[in-house]
Chains A and B, each alone.
Chain A
Amino acid sequence: MDIFLQQIINGLVVGSVYALIALGYTMVYGILQLINFAHGEIVMIGAMVTITCINFLIGHNVNLPGPLLLALGLAMAIPVTMLLGYLIERIAYRPLRKAPRLAPLITAIGVSIVLQQAAMMIWGRNYRAFPAILPSDVVEFGGASITTLQIAIIALSIVLLIGLFLLIERTKMGRAMRATAQSPDVARLMGVNVNNIISLTFMIGSALGAVAGVLVAANYDQAHAYMGFMIGLKAFTAAVLGGIGNLGGAVLGGILLGLIESIGSGYLGDLTGGFLGSQYKDIFAFLVLILVLIFRPSGLMGERVAERA
Protein backbone atom coordinates (compact mmCIF):
# COMPACT_ATOMS: atom_id res chain seq x y z
CA MET A 1 0.00 0.00 0.00
CA ASP A 2 2.77 2.44 0.92
CA ILE A 3 4.53 1.83 -2.39
CA PHE A 4 1.31 2.53 -4.18
CA LEU A 5 0.79 5.78 -2.25
CA GLN A 6 4.40 6.77 -2.87
CA GLN A 7 4.01 6.22 -6.59
CA ILE A 8 0.84 8.30 -6.63
CA ILE A 9 2.70 11.17 -4.97
CA ASN A 10 5.58 10.88 -7.42
CA GLY A 11 3.11 10.67 -10.26
CA LEU A 12 1.33 13.83 -9.19
CA VAL A 13 4.61 15.73 -8.96
CA VAL A 14 5.79 14.64 -12.39
CA GLY A 15 2.30 14.94 -13.81
CA SER A 16 1.82 18.53 -12.73
CA VAL A 17 5.04 19.43 -14.52
CA TYR A 18 3.90 17.55 -17.64
CA ALA A 19 0.66 19.50 -17.43
CA LEU A 20 2.46 22.85 -17.45
CA ILE A 21 4.48 21.85 -20.50
CA ALA A 22 1.55 20.19 -22.27
CA LEU A 23 -0.34 23.49 -22.03
CA GLY A 24 2.34 25.11 -24.17
CA TYR A 25 1.86 22.48 -26.88
CA THR A 26 -1.88 22.56 -26.74
CA MET A 27 -2.28 26.36 -26.72
CA VAL A 28 -0.17 26.72 -29.85
CA TYR A 29 -1.96 23.82 -31.50
CA GLY A 30 -5.34 25.29 -30.63
CA ILE A 31 -4.53 28.51 -32.47
CA LEU A 32 -2.25 27.42 -35.31
CA GLN A 33 -2.84 23.65 -35.61
CA LEU A 34 0.94 23.40 -35.34
CA ILE A 35 2.97 21.08 -33.13
CA ASN A 36 5.74 23.26 -31.78
CA PHE A 37 8.39 20.60 -31.30
CA ALA A 38 10.84 23.24 -30.12
CA HIS A 39 8.81 23.64 -26.94
CA GLY A 40 10.83 20.97 -25.10
CA GLU A 41 13.98 22.97 -25.77
CA ILE A 42 12.33 26.05 -24.28
CA VAL A 43 11.79 24.02 -21.12
CA MET A 44 15.46 23.03 -21.10
CA ILE A 45 16.66 26.59 -21.69
CA GLY A 46 14.44 27.83 -18.88
CA ALA A 47 16.18 25.40 -16.53
CA MET A 48 19.67 26.22 -17.82
CA VAL A 49 19.27 29.98 -17.57
CA THR A 50 17.93 29.66 -14.04
CA ILE A 51 20.84 27.47 -12.94
CA THR A 52 23.37 29.85 -14.49
CA CYS A 53 21.71 32.80 -12.85
CA ILE A 54 21.62 31.20 -9.41
CA ASN A 55 25.25 30.09 -9.69
CA PHE A 56 26.20 33.61 -10.72
CA LEU A 57 24.48 35.06 -7.66
CA ILE A 58 26.05 32.49 -5.35
CA GLY A 59 29.44 33.08 -6.96
CA HIS A 60 29.13 36.76 -6.14
CA ASN A 61 28.36 35.98 -2.53
CA VAL A 62 24.78 37.12 -2.64
CA ASN A 63 23.37 35.77 0.58
CA LEU A 64 19.70 35.28 0.09
CA PRO A 65 17.37 32.49 1.14
CA GLY A 66 17.12 29.67 -1.38
CA PRO A 67 13.57 30.28 -2.57
CA LEU A 68 14.41 33.93 -3.22
CA LEU A 69 17.47 32.95 -5.27
CA LEU A 70 15.25 30.60 -7.22
CA ALA A 71 12.73 33.38 -7.80
CA LEU A 72 15.48 35.66 -9.10
CA GLY A 73 16.68 32.89 -11.42
CA LEU A 74 13.14 32.45 -12.70
CA ALA A 75 12.75 36.19 -13.12
CA MET A 76 15.67 35.97 -15.51
CA ALA A 77 14.66 32.76 -17.27
CA ILE A 78 11.03 33.67 -17.94
CA PRO A 79 11.75 36.78 -20.06
CA VAL A 80 14.50 34.90 -21.91
CA THR A 81 12.20 32.03 -22.85
CA MET A 82 9.33 34.39 -23.69
CA LEU A 83 11.58 36.28 -26.06
CA LEU A 84 12.78 33.00 -27.51
CA GLY A 85 9.20 31.79 -27.98
CA TYR A 86 8.34 35.05 -29.70
CA LEU A 87 11.36 34.84 -32.00
CA ILE A 88 10.76 31.20 -32.90
CA GLU A 89 7.24 32.00 -34.03
CA ARG A 90 8.29 35.17 -35.80
CA ILE A 91 11.26 33.70 -37.65
CA ALA A 92 10.45 30.03 -38.14
CA TYR A 93 6.66 29.69 -38.23
CA ARG A 94 5.08 32.94 -39.36
CA PRO A 95 6.64 32.94 -42.84
CA LEU A 96 5.23 29.43 -43.28
CA ARG A 97 1.74 30.15 -42.01
CA LYS A 98 0.14 29.56 -45.39
CA ALA A 99 2.46 26.71 -46.34
CA PRO A 100 1.34 23.05 -46.23
CA ARG A 101 1.21 21.81 -42.65
CA LEU A 102 4.18 19.50 -43.08
CA ALA A 103 6.52 22.45 -43.70
CA PRO A 104 6.25 24.14 -40.28
CA LEU A 105 6.35 20.72 -38.64
CA ILE A 106 9.74 20.03 -40.19
CA THR A 107 10.88 23.55 -39.34
CA ALA A 108 9.84 22.90 -35.74
CA ILE A 109 12.12 19.87 -35.59
CA GLY A 110 14.88 21.97 -37.13
CA VAL A 111 14.45 24.72 -34.54
CA SER A 112 14.51 22.11 -31.83
CA ILE A 113 17.85 20.75 -33.04
CA VAL A 114 19.33 24.23 -33.41
CA LEU A 115 18.37 25.14 -29.85
CA GLN A 116 19.73 21.86 -28.50
CA GLN A 117 23.08 22.39 -30.20
CA ALA A 118 23.22 26.03 -29.16
CA ALA A 119 22.56 25.01 -25.56
CA MET A 120 25.36 22.49 -25.77
CA MET A 121 27.73 25.17 -27.03
CA ILE A 122 26.76 27.52 -24.22
CA TRP A 123 26.44 25.12 -21.30
CA GLY A 124 28.54 22.17 -22.45
CA ARG A 125 27.56 18.55 -22.86
CA ASN A 126 27.77 17.49 -19.24
CA TYR A 127 25.03 17.36 -16.68
CA ARG A 128 24.68 20.57 -14.73
CA ALA A 129 23.91 20.19 -11.07
CA PHE A 130 21.03 22.19 -9.71
CA PRO A 131 22.47 24.33 -6.87
CA ALA A 132 21.54 22.91 -3.49
CA ILE A 133 19.72 25.96 -2.26
CA LEU A 134 16.31 24.55 -1.55
CA PRO A 135 15.35 22.91 1.73
CA SER A 136 14.66 19.23 1.24
CA ASP A 137 12.73 18.40 4.38
CA VAL A 138 10.78 15.22 4.11
CA VAL A 139 7.23 14.90 5.27
CA GLU A 140 6.18 11.36 6.17
CA PHE A 141 2.64 10.17 6.11
CA GLY A 142 0.89 6.87 5.65
CA GLY A 143 4.19 5.10 5.01
CA ALA A 144 5.02 7.38 2.09
CA SER A 145 7.18 10.48 2.00
CA ILE A 146 7.06 13.74 0.13
CA THR A 147 9.65 16.50 0.16
CA THR A 148 8.76 20.13 0.74
CA LEU A 149 10.10 20.79 -2.74
CA GLN A 150 7.61 18.34 -4.21
CA ILE A 151 4.80 19.99 -2.29
CA ALA A 152 5.98 23.34 -3.65
CA ILE A 153 6.05 21.94 -7.21
CA ILE A 154 2.46 20.79 -6.98
CA ALA A 155 1.32 24.02 -5.33
CA LEU A 156 3.07 26.27 -7.83
CA SER A 157 1.66 24.26 -10.72
CA ILE A 158 -1.85 24.59 -9.36
CA VAL A 159 -1.45 28.35 -8.93
CA LEU A 160 -0.16 28.76 -12.48
CA LEU A 161 -2.92 26.58 -13.92
CA ILE A 162 -5.61 28.57 -12.14
CA GLY A 163 -3.98 31.82 -13.27
CA LEU A 164 -3.92 30.65 -16.87
CA PHE A 165 -7.54 29.57 -16.80
CA LEU A 166 -8.62 32.90 -15.32
CA LEU A 167 -6.64 34.72 -17.98
CA ILE A 168 -8.26 32.73 -20.76
CA GLU A 169 -11.80 32.50 -19.44
CA ARG A 170 -12.23 35.85 -17.73
CA THR A 171 -10.23 38.49 -19.54
CA LYS A 172 -10.62 40.30 -22.80
CA MET A 173 -7.29 39.00 -23.97
CA GLY A 174 -8.31 35.43 -23.22
CA ARG A 175 -11.53 35.97 -25.12
CA ALA A 176 -9.51 37.22 -28.08
CA MET A 177 -7.33 34.10 -27.84
CA ARG A 178 -10.34 31.80 -27.84
CA ALA A 179 -11.91 33.72 -30.71
CA THR A 180 -8.68 33.48 -32.70
CA ALA A 181 -8.47 29.74 -32.03
CA GLN A 182 -11.99 29.22 -33.35
CA SER A 183 -11.82 31.47 -36.39
CA PRO A 184 -8.83 33.72 -37.07
CA ASP A 185 -10.49 35.51 -39.99
CA VAL A 186 -13.57 36.49 -38.03
CA ALA A 187 -11.49 37.47 -35.01
CA ARG A 188 -9.56 39.78 -37.33
CA LEU A 189 -12.82 41.37 -38.41
CA MET A 190 -13.67 42.09 -34.80
CA GLY A 191 -10.50 44.13 -34.53
CA VAL A 192 -8.39 41.42 -32.90
CA ASN A 193 -4.78 41.70 -33.96
CA VAL A 194 -4.34 38.01 -34.65
CA ASN A 195 -0.57 38.17 -35.05
CA ASN A 196 -0.21 39.72 -31.61
CA ILE A 197 -2.43 37.06 -30.11
CA ILE A 198 -0.33 34.33 -31.72
CA SER A 199 2.88 35.90 -30.42
CA LEU A 200 1.33 36.18 -27.00
CA THR A 201 0.31 32.53 -27.06
CA PHE A 202 3.88 31.47 -27.74
CA MET A 203 5.14 33.75 -24.98
CA ILE A 204 2.71 32.51 -22.34
CA GLY A 205 3.43 28.89 -23.27
CA SER A 206 7.16 29.55 -23.07
CA ALA A 207 6.88 31.17 -19.65
CA LEU A 208 4.99 28.14 -18.33
CA GLY A 209 7.60 25.92 -19.98
CA ALA A 210 10.45 27.78 -18.27
CA VAL A 211 8.86 27.31 -14.86
CA ALA A 212 8.29 23.64 -15.61
CA GLY A 213 11.92 23.25 -16.67
CA VAL A 214 13.15 24.73 -13.40
CA LEU A 215 10.81 22.51 -11.39
CA VAL A 216 12.07 19.40 -13.18
CA ALA A 217 15.69 20.40 -12.72
CA ALA A 218 15.12 21.16 -9.03
CA ASN A 219 13.30 17.86 -8.52
CA TYR A 220 16.06 15.75 -10.12
CA ASP A 221 18.91 18.04 -8.97
CA GLN A 222 20.25 18.32 -12.50
CA ALA A 223 19.73 19.64 -16.00
CA HIS A 224 21.15 18.75 -19.38
CA ALA A 225 21.07 20.11 -22.90
CA TYR A 226 19.17 17.01 -24.05
CA MET A 227 16.59 17.05 -21.26
CA GLY A 228 14.07 18.97 -23.36
CA PHE A 229 13.75 16.21 -25.91
CA MET A 230 12.32 13.48 -23.70
CA ILE A 231 10.25 15.73 -21.47
CA GLY A 232 8.92 17.54 -24.53
CA LEU A 233 7.82 14.27 -26.12
CA LYS A 234 6.14 13.17 -22.92
CA ALA A 235 4.30 16.45 -22.49
CA PHE A 236 3.25 16.19 -26.13
CA THR A 237 1.94 12.71 -25.35
CA ALA A 238 0.05 14.19 -22.41
CA ALA A 239 -1.47 16.85 -24.66
CA VAL A 240 -2.55 14.19 -27.18
CA LEU A 241 -3.92 12.01 -24.39
CA GLY A 242 -6.07 14.87 -23.11
CA GLY A 243 -7.09 15.98 -26.59
CA ILE A 244 -4.72 18.36 -28.28
CA GLY A 245 -6.04 21.89 -28.49
CA ASN A 246 -8.00 21.47 -25.27
CA LEU A 247 -6.54 23.23 -22.21
CA GLY A 248 -8.38 21.18 -19.61
CA GLY A 249 -7.36 18.10 -21.56
CA ALA A 250 -3.69 19.05 -21.35
CA VAL A 251 -3.87 19.25 -17.56
CA LEU A 252 -5.80 16.00 -17.26
CA GLY A 253 -3.48 14.29 -19.74
CA GLY A 254 -0.38 15.53 -17.93
CA ILE A 255 -1.49 14.29 -14.54
CA LEU A 256 -2.78 10.98 -15.89
CA LEU A 257 0.44 10.39 -17.76
CA GLY A 258 2.47 11.20 -14.66
CA LEU A 259 0.42 8.72 -12.64
CA ILE A 260 0.53 5.98 -15.28
CA GLU A 261 4.26 6.34 -15.65
CA SER A 262 4.94 6.42 -11.96
CA ILE A 263 2.65 3.59 -10.93
CA GLY A 264 3.67 1.55 -13.96
CA SER A 265 7.37 1.90 -13.27
CA GLY A 266 6.82 1.07 -9.60
CA TYR A 267 5.48 -2.33 -10.54
CA LEU A 268 7.38 -2.92 -13.77
CA GLY A 269 9.98 -5.09 -12.06
CA ASP A 270 7.33 -7.31 -10.47
CA LEU A 271 5.35 -7.51 -13.68
CA THR A 272 8.26 -8.68 -15.79
CA GLY A 273 9.76 -10.89 -13.13
CA GLY A 274 12.72 -8.56 -12.73
CA PHE A 275 13.48 -8.52 -16.46
CA LEU A 276 12.71 -4.80 -16.83
CA GLY A 277 13.41 -2.31 -14.04
CA SER A 278 11.91 1.08 -13.32
CA GLN A 279 14.49 2.69 -15.62
CA TYR A 280 12.21 1.54 -18.43
CA LYS A 281 9.42 3.83 -17.24
CA ASP A 282 9.52 5.76 -20.53
CA ILE A 283 7.84 2.77 -22.15
CA PHE A 284 4.57 3.77 -20.54
CA ALA A 285 4.42 7.26 -22.01
CA PHE A 286 4.83 6.00 -25.52
CA LEU A 287 2.61 2.99 -25.00
CA VAL A 288 -0.06 5.49 -23.98
CA LEU A 289 0.65 7.60 -27.07
CA ILE A 290 0.27 4.60 -29.35
CA LEU A 291 -2.91 3.39 -27.64
CA VAL A 292 -4.50 6.85 -27.75
CA LEU A 293 -3.64 7.30 -31.41
CA ILE A 294 -5.17 3.93 -32.23
CA PHE A 295 -8.29 3.97 -30.08
CA ARG A 296 -9.11 7.60 -29.44
CA PRO A 297 -7.08 9.91 -31.68
CA SER A 298 -9.08 12.94 -30.56
CA GLY A 299 -7.99 12.36 -26.95
CA LEU A 300 -10.01 12.14 -23.76
CA MET A 301 -11.48 15.64 -23.94
CA GLY A 302 -10.83 16.43 -27.59
CA GLU A 303 -13.44 17.44 -30.09
CA ARG A 304 -14.18 15.09 -32.89
CA VAL A 305 -12.28 16.17 -35.95
CA ALA A 306 -15.45 16.57 -37.98
CA GLU A 307 -16.60 19.36 -35.68
CA ARG A 308 -13.50 21.38 -36.32
CA ALA A 309 -13.58 21.12 -40.08
Chain B
Amino acid sequence: MTKVLLEISGIHKRFGGLHALNDVALTINQGEIYGLIGPNGAGKTTLFNVLTGLYQPDEGKFTFNGKDLFCQKPYIVVGSGIARTFQNIRLFANMSALENVMVGRHVRTKASVFGAIFRPPQVKNEEAAIRARAMELLEYVGIPHHAEELACNLSYGDQRRLEIARALATDPQLLALDEPAAGMNPKETEDLKELMQKIRNDGVTILLIEHDVKLMMGLCDRIAVLDYGKKIAEGRPEEVKSNPRVIEAYLGVAPE
Protein backbone atom coordinates (compact mmCIF):
# COMPACT_ATOMS: atom_id res chain seq x y z
CA MET B 1 0.00 0.00 0.00
CA THR B 2 1.37 3.38 -0.88
CA LYS B 3 0.70 6.24 1.44
CA VAL B 4 0.73 9.80 0.15
CA LEU B 5 3.29 11.83 2.11
CA LEU B 6 3.27 15.17 0.37
CA GLU B 7 0.61 16.63 -1.84
CA ILE B 8 0.56 20.02 -3.52
CA SER B 9 -1.89 21.31 -6.06
CA GLY B 10 -2.55 24.55 -7.92
CA ILE B 11 0.66 26.13 -6.62
CA HIS B 12 1.41 29.54 -8.14
CA LYS B 13 4.38 31.74 -7.41
CA ARG B 14 5.01 35.02 -9.19
CA PHE B 15 7.99 37.34 -8.96
CA GLY B 16 6.69 40.56 -10.44
CA GLY B 17 5.97 39.70 -14.06
CA LEU B 18 7.65 36.29 -13.90
CA HIS B 19 5.29 33.40 -13.33
CA ALA B 20 7.85 31.09 -11.73
CA LEU B 21 5.41 28.36 -10.77
CA ASN B 22 2.20 27.98 -12.73
CA ASP B 23 -0.43 25.63 -11.37
CA VAL B 24 2.02 22.99 -10.18
CA ALA B 25 0.60 19.83 -8.66
CA LEU B 26 2.41 16.74 -7.47
CA THR B 27 2.15 13.98 -4.93
CA ILE B 28 5.03 12.16 -3.33
CA ASN B 29 4.46 8.74 -1.78
CA GLN B 30 6.08 7.56 1.37
CA GLY B 31 9.32 5.70 0.79
CA GLU B 32 9.96 6.69 -2.80
CA ILE B 33 12.74 8.62 -4.44
CA TYR B 34 11.00 11.31 -6.44
CA GLY B 35 12.99 13.19 -9.04
CA LEU B 36 12.43 16.69 -10.29
CA ILE B 37 14.07 17.68 -13.55
CA GLY B 38 13.75 20.47 -16.06
CA PRO B 39 15.86 22.95 -18.02
CA ASN B 40 17.60 25.80 -16.19
CA GLY B 41 15.13 28.36 -14.93
CA ALA B 42 12.21 25.92 -15.06
CA GLY B 43 11.31 26.65 -11.44
CA LYS B 44 12.77 23.60 -9.69
CA THR B 45 14.56 25.51 -6.96
CA THR B 46 11.61 27.88 -6.57
CA LEU B 47 9.43 24.84 -5.94
CA PHE B 48 11.96 23.65 -3.35
CA ASN B 49 11.85 27.02 -1.63
CA VAL B 50 8.06 26.86 -1.54
CA LEU B 51 8.12 23.33 -0.14
CA THR B 52 10.51 24.30 2.64
CA GLY B 53 8.79 27.54 3.62
CA LEU B 54 11.48 29.92 2.38
CA TYR B 55 9.05 31.32 -0.20
CA GLN B 56 5.38 31.86 0.42
CA PRO B 57 3.35 30.66 -2.60
CA ASP B 58 0.71 33.04 -3.97
CA GLU B 59 -1.99 30.39 -4.15
CA GLY B 60 -2.46 26.66 -4.01
CA LYS B 61 -2.70 23.79 -1.58
CA PHE B 62 0.14 22.15 0.32
CA THR B 63 -0.38 19.27 2.69
CA PHE B 64 2.27 17.09 4.25
CA ASN B 65 1.46 13.97 6.18
CA GLY B 66 -2.13 15.17 6.46
CA LYS B 67 -1.08 18.56 7.84
CA ASP B 68 -1.73 21.87 6.07
CA LEU B 69 1.60 23.59 5.46
CA PHE B 70 0.43 26.29 3.05
CA CYS B 71 2.36 29.51 3.76
CA GLN B 72 3.86 28.20 6.98
CA LYS B 73 7.08 29.47 8.52
CA PRO B 74 10.26 27.46 7.80
CA TYR B 75 10.65 26.21 11.36
CA ILE B 76 7.09 24.86 11.30
CA VAL B 77 7.79 23.14 7.99
CA VAL B 78 11.00 21.58 9.24
CA GLY B 79 9.26 20.62 12.47
CA SER B 80 6.67 18.80 10.39
CA GLY B 81 9.40 16.70 8.82
CA ILE B 82 10.75 18.32 5.65
CA ALA B 83 14.48 19.01 5.45
CA ARG B 84 16.59 20.19 2.55
CA THR B 85 20.05 20.83 1.18
CA PHE B 86 21.05 23.61 -1.16
CA GLN B 87 22.23 23.77 -4.75
CA ASN B 88 25.08 26.04 -3.73
CA ILE B 89 26.24 24.52 -0.45
CA ARG B 90 25.17 26.64 2.49
CA LEU B 91 26.90 25.33 5.56
CA PHE B 92 27.76 27.37 8.63
CA ALA B 93 31.27 27.82 7.30
CA ASN B 94 32.96 28.93 10.51
CA MET B 95 31.52 26.23 12.71
CA SER B 96 32.90 22.71 13.00
CA ALA B 97 31.29 19.87 11.06
CA LEU B 98 29.91 18.47 14.30
CA GLU B 99 28.43 21.81 15.31
CA ASN B 100 26.76 22.17 11.94
CA VAL B 101 24.92 18.92 12.53
CA MET B 102 24.17 19.90 16.13
CA VAL B 103 22.39 23.01 14.89
CA GLY B 104 20.21 20.66 12.87
CA ARG B 105 18.98 19.11 16.12
CA HIS B 106 17.61 22.48 17.17
CA VAL B 107 14.12 21.81 15.95
CA ARG B 108 13.87 18.54 17.92
CA THR B 109 15.11 19.86 21.23
CA LYS B 110 14.04 22.45 23.74
CA ALA B 111 15.78 25.73 24.29
CA SER B 112 15.32 28.31 26.97
CA VAL B 113 17.34 31.26 28.16
CA PHE B 114 17.03 29.91 31.68
CA GLY B 115 18.40 26.52 30.65
CA ALA B 116 21.29 28.04 28.72
CA ILE B 117 22.44 30.15 31.64
CA PHE B 118 21.87 27.87 34.63
CA ARG B 119 22.40 24.55 32.87
CA PRO B 120 20.37 22.19 35.03
CA PRO B 121 21.12 18.45 34.61
CA GLN B 122 18.43 17.83 32.00
CA VAL B 123 19.95 20.55 29.81
CA LYS B 124 23.38 18.95 30.14
CA ASN B 125 21.92 15.56 29.30
CA GLU B 126 20.14 16.98 26.31
CA GLU B 127 23.33 18.63 25.13
CA ALA B 128 25.17 15.31 25.42
CA ALA B 129 22.39 13.57 23.51
CA ILE B 130 22.57 16.21 20.75
CA ARG B 131 26.31 15.71 20.47
CA ALA B 132 26.00 11.92 20.37
CA ARG B 133 23.27 12.01 17.72
CA ALA B 134 25.27 14.47 15.60
CA MET B 135 28.32 12.22 15.78
CA GLU B 136 26.18 9.24 14.76
CA LEU B 137 24.97 11.15 11.71
CA LEU B 138 28.50 12.09 10.70
CA GLU B 139 29.34 8.40 10.81
CA TYR B 140 26.19 7.61 8.85
CA VAL B 141 27.23 9.84 5.96
CA GLY B 142 30.81 8.67 6.24
CA ILE B 143 32.74 11.68 7.56
CA PRO B 144 33.19 11.06 11.33
CA HIS B 145 36.92 11.81 11.05
CA HIS B 146 36.14 15.41 10.05
CA ALA B 147 33.95 16.14 13.11
CA GLU B 148 36.17 18.83 14.61
CA GLU B 149 37.20 20.49 11.37
CA LEU B 150 35.67 23.76 10.26
CA ALA B 151 33.01 23.15 7.64
CA CYS B 152 34.74 25.49 5.20
CA ASN B 153 37.90 23.32 5.26
CA LEU B 154 36.14 20.15 4.12
CA SER B 155 36.44 18.93 0.55
CA TYR B 156 33.55 19.68 -1.76
CA GLY B 157 32.17 16.14 -1.68
CA ASP B 158 32.42 16.02 2.11
CA GLN B 159 30.63 19.37 2.39
CA ARG B 160 27.76 17.84 0.42
CA ARG B 161 27.70 14.91 2.82
CA LEU B 162 27.82 17.23 5.80
CA GLU B 163 24.87 19.16 4.44
CA ILE B 164 22.93 15.92 4.14
CA ALA B 165 23.88 14.94 7.72
CA ARG B 166 22.72 18.34 8.95
CA ALA B 167 19.40 17.93 7.14
CA LEU B 168 18.99 14.41 8.57
CA ALA B 169 19.58 15.81 12.05
CA THR B 170 16.13 17.37 11.91
CA ASP B 171 14.60 13.86 11.76
CA PRO B 172 12.91 14.48 8.42
CA GLN B 173 10.35 12.22 6.77
CA LEU B 174 11.09 13.93 3.48
CA LEU B 175 14.61 14.89 2.52
CA ALA B 176 14.78 17.38 -0.35
CA LEU B 177 18.15 17.44 -2.10
CA ASP B 178 18.89 20.28 -4.54
CA GLU B 179 21.48 19.04 -7.05
CA PRO B 180 23.56 17.04 -4.59
CA ALA B 181 25.76 15.59 -7.34
CA ALA B 182 26.61 18.92 -8.97
CA GLY B 183 30.34 19.20 -9.48
CA MET B 184 31.09 15.66 -8.31
CA ASN B 185 33.28 13.20 -10.16
CA PRO B 186 31.80 9.81 -11.22
CA LYS B 187 33.19 8.02 -8.16
CA GLU B 188 31.73 10.60 -5.76
CA THR B 189 28.43 10.48 -7.62
CA GLU B 190 28.31 6.70 -7.26
CA ASP B 191 29.00 6.97 -3.51
CA LEU B 192 26.30 9.60 -3.21
CA LYS B 193 23.84 7.35 -5.00
CA GLU B 194 24.54 4.59 -2.49
CA LEU B 195 24.07 7.04 0.38
CA MET B 196 20.70 8.15 -1.00
CA GLN B 197 19.56 4.56 -1.37
CA LYS B 198 20.67 3.83 2.19
CA ILE B 199 18.71 6.85 3.45
CA ARG B 200 15.62 5.72 1.58
CA ASN B 201 15.95 2.15 2.87
CA ASP B 202 16.06 3.60 6.38
CA GLY B 203 12.60 5.05 5.82
CA VAL B 204 13.20 8.60 4.63
CA THR B 205 11.43 9.68 1.46
CA ILE B 206 13.64 11.64 -0.94
CA LEU B 207 12.84 14.49 -3.30
CA LEU B 208 15.71 15.10 -5.65
CA ILE B 209 16.63 17.79 -8.15
CA GLU B 210 19.46 16.71 -10.40
CA HIS B 211 20.80 17.30 -13.88
CA ASP B 212 22.71 14.03 -14.08
CA VAL B 213 20.17 12.14 -16.18
CA LYS B 214 21.95 8.81 -15.86
CA LEU B 215 21.89 9.10 -12.09
CA MET B 216 18.23 10.08 -12.09
CA MET B 217 17.15 7.26 -14.38
CA GLY B 218 18.89 4.68 -12.22
CA LEU B 219 17.78 6.05 -8.88
CA CYS B 220 14.30 7.58 -9.02
CA ASP B 221 11.02 5.72 -8.71
CA ARG B 222 9.14 8.54 -10.35
CA ILE B 223 10.17 11.76 -12.05
CA ALA B 224 8.36 15.02 -12.71
CA VAL B 225 9.47 17.46 -15.38
CA LEU B 226 9.09 21.22 -15.00
CA ASP B 227 9.36 23.67 -17.87
CA TYR B 228 8.66 27.41 -17.59
CA GLY B 229 7.02 26.88 -14.23
CA LYS B 230 4.63 24.18 -15.42
CA LYS B 231 4.70 20.47 -14.87
CA ILE B 232 4.83 18.96 -18.34
CA ALA B 233 5.30 15.29 -17.48
CA GLU B 234 5.34 12.87 -14.59
CA GLY B 235 5.91 9.15 -14.36
CA ARG B 236 8.43 6.33 -14.19
CA PRO B 237 11.86 7.28 -15.55
CA GLU B 238 11.52 5.33 -18.83
CA GLU B 239 8.09 6.90 -19.48
CA VAL B 240 9.42 10.37 -18.92
CA LYS B 241 12.48 9.78 -21.03
CA SER B 242 10.40 8.92 -24.09
CA ASN B 243 7.77 11.63 -23.55
CA PRO B 244 7.80 13.91 -26.63
CA ARG B 245 7.04 17.04 -24.58
CA VAL B 246 10.07 16.39 -22.40
CA ILE B 247 12.32 15.90 -25.42
CA GLU B 248 10.89 19.11 -26.87
CA ALA B 249 11.56 21.07 -23.67
CA TYR B 250 15.16 19.91 -23.52
CA LEU B 251 16.09 19.84 -27.18
CA GLY B 252 13.54 22.00 -28.98
CA VAL B 253 11.05 20.83 -31.61
CA ALA B 254 12.33 18.35 -34.14
CA PRO B 255 12.04 19.73 -37.67
CA GLU B 256 9.35 18.00 -39.73
Q: A-side interface residues toward B, CB under 8 Å? A: 167, 171-176, 178-179, 182-183, 185-193, 200
Q: Which residues of A contact B117 (CB under 8 A)?
A: 167
Question: Quick one: which of A174, A182, A193, A200 contacts B92, CB cutoff 8 A?
Answer: A182
- Is B94's CB under 8 angstroms from A172's CB? no
Instruction: Give 5 A-B contacts (CB < 8 Å), ordered by A residue.
Output: A171-B119, A172-B109, A178-B99, A189-B78, A190-B169
Instruction: Tell me the chain B residues, 81-118 only, with Cβ under 8 Å from chain A.
Output: 83-84, 86, 90-95, 99, 102-104, 106-109, 111, 113, 116-117
Residues A189 and B116 in contact in the complex (CB < 8 Å), given A172-B106, A175-B102? no
Q: Is the CB of A179 within 8 A of B95?
A: yes
Number of cross-chain contacts by CB at 8 Å: 82
User: Complex Cα distance A187/B166, Å?
Assistant: 11
Tell whether, in the assembled complex, residue B103 and residue A179 are in contact, meaning their CB atoms are under 8 Å apart: yes
Given the complex of chains A and B, what is the CA–CA distance between A187 and B86 in angstroms?
13
Q: Among the listed A167, A172, A190, which residue makes an inter-chain contact with B78, where contact means beta carbons less than 8 Å apart?
A: A190
Contact between A183 and B52, CB atoms less than 8 A apart: no
Q: Which residues from chain A contact B104 at a C-beta distance below 8 Å?
A: 190
* A176-B111, A186-B92 known; A192 vs B116 contact (CB < 8 Å): no
Q: In the complex, which residues 105-151 of chain B have their Cβ closer than 8 Å to any Cβ of chain A? A: 106-109, 111, 113, 116-117, 119, 126-127, 130
In whole angstroms, how far apart are the Cα atoms of A41 and B124 in the complex? Answer: 37
Q: How far is the CA of A178 from the CA of B52 in the complex (A)?
A: 22
Instruction: State whether A189 and B95 are in contact (beta carbons under 8 Å apart), knowing that A171-B116, A179-B103 are contacts in the complex.
Output: no
State whether B116 touches A187 (Cβ < 8 A).
no
Say whether A191 contacts B99, CB under 8 Å. no
Closest to A193 in B: B75
**Contact size class for B?**
35 or more
Q: What is the bound-complex CA distance between A12 and B109, given in angstroms?
A: 41
Complex-state Cα separation, A159 to B92, whole angstroms:
29
Nearest-CB residue, chain A, relative to B107: A191
Chain A residue at minimum C-beta to C-beta distance from B109: A172
Q: A176 to nearest B CB, angstroms?
A: 6
Nearest chain B CB to A82 CB, angstrom units? 10
Per-position binary interface string of chain B over residues 45-58, scored 1 when its CB falls under 8 Å from any chain A CB and 0 otherwise? 00000001110000
Report, nearest first, the 8 A-B pairs whose CB atoms are least far apart. A191-B107, A173-B116, A188-B74, A171-B116, A182-B92, A179-B103, A191-B75, A191-B106
User: By CB atoms of chain B within 10 A, which of A171, A178, A179, A191 has the most?
Assistant: A191
B108 — which chain A residues lie within 8 A by C-beta?
191
Q: Is the CB of A171 within 8 A of B103?
A: no
For B93, the chain A residues whose CB sits under 8 A away are: 182
A188 CB, nearest partner CB in chain B, Å: 4
Q: Which residues of A contact B170 (CB under 8 A)?
A: 190-191
B127 contact from A172, A187, A191, Cβ within 8 A: A172
B164 to chain A, nearest CB (A): 13
Looking at the assembled complex, report how far the CB atom of B48 sits from the nearest CB atom of chain A, in whole angstroms.
Answer: 11
Task: Look across to chain A and name the residue whose beta carbon is closest to the beta carbon of B119.
Answer: A171
Q: Is B79 an interface residue (CB 8 A)?
A: yes
A193 to B83, CA, bound (A): 16
Q: A186 contacts which chain B residues (CB < 8 A)?
A: 86, 90-92
In angstroms, Cα B104 to Cα A191, docked, is 7
Partner of B84, one of A172, A176, A189: A189
Instruction: Report whether A182 and B94 are in contact in the complex, using a CB–CB cutoff of 8 Å.
Output: yes
Cα A190 to Cα B52 with chains together (Å): 11
The residues of A that contact B116 with a CB separation of less than 8 Å are 167, 171-174
Among the listed B75, B92, B127, which residue makes an inter-chain contact with A171, where contact means beta carbons less than 8 Å apart? Answer: B127
